[in-house]
A and B are shown apart, each in its own frame.
Chain A
Amino acid sequence: LAKTTQPISMDSYEGQEVNITCSHNNIATNDYITWYQQFPSQGPRFIIQGYKTKVTNEVASLFIPADRKSSTLSLPRVSLSDTAVYYCLVGDQPSGTYKYIFGTGTRLKVLA
């Protein structure tokens, strides 16, 4: 079971870059790392996914070191609307099936 560990909460100010680190020491060789964003009263929304090195899209960047035991979600120049809970997931493969396990996530609060 590839569990993840994230900070429970973070505060930031508008315009700053925010980095949220996730620890996944038991990640399996074939596991991808996926990040989701959840606003209040909504379902989680897929942000970014990666396997190694760096992945960038229009929303965020994902940095994964060579040992893959951690990953960092980077949100450039956050705004108030980025206030949300961010989940880091890696695959869970018991008995040949795949089930995403969500932890409690990181509650990001962006301040004016």
Chain B
Amino acid sequence: NAGVTQTPKFQVLKTGQSMTLQCAQDMNHNSMYWYRQDPGMGLRLIYYSASEGTTDKGEVPNGYNVSRLNKREFSLRLESAAPSQTSVYFCASSEAISRVYGYTFGSGTRLTVV
């Protein structure tokens, strides 16, 4: 099925460890996004990529880096994980970075930092 695929689905890290969350979409979308969702909260935008080759900060970028590897893939890296980064991470994509087009979300990566 077409959509947004995130890996891994679950991860436990120790404080200070690093890891990369992977995201790929097969809908030929131009724009991709990373959100985090804390328990009982809404989604907060970490980084986004309006098009291949560009990335920009969202609401909560500190502690994260991203790479738009190609049109399909957008990865999120935690260089030195902290307990405050325990959250569910969602990747999303859209046809264009425009109000007109809705997002398609992946199923999420549940990250626990101990």
Residues of chain A at the chain B interface (Cβ within 8 Å): 30-32, 34, 36, 41-46, 49, 87, 90-91, 93, 97-105
Chain B nearest CB from A56 CB (Å) reads 16
Q: Which of B35-43, B64-72, B76-84 contacts A (4 or more CB under 8 A)?
A: B35-43
Overall SS of chain A's interface: loop
Overall SS of chain B's interface: loop
A-B contact pairs, 11 of them (CB 8 A): A43-B90, A43-B92, A43-B107, A43-B108, A44-B90, A90-B99, A97-B56, A98-B98, A100-B103, A101-B45, A104-B42
Q: Are B43 and A44 in contact (CB under 8 A)?
A: yes
* B-chain residues with CB within 8 Å of residue A102 when the two chains form the complex: 35, 42-45
- Cα distance A105–B102 in the bound complex, in angstroms: 17
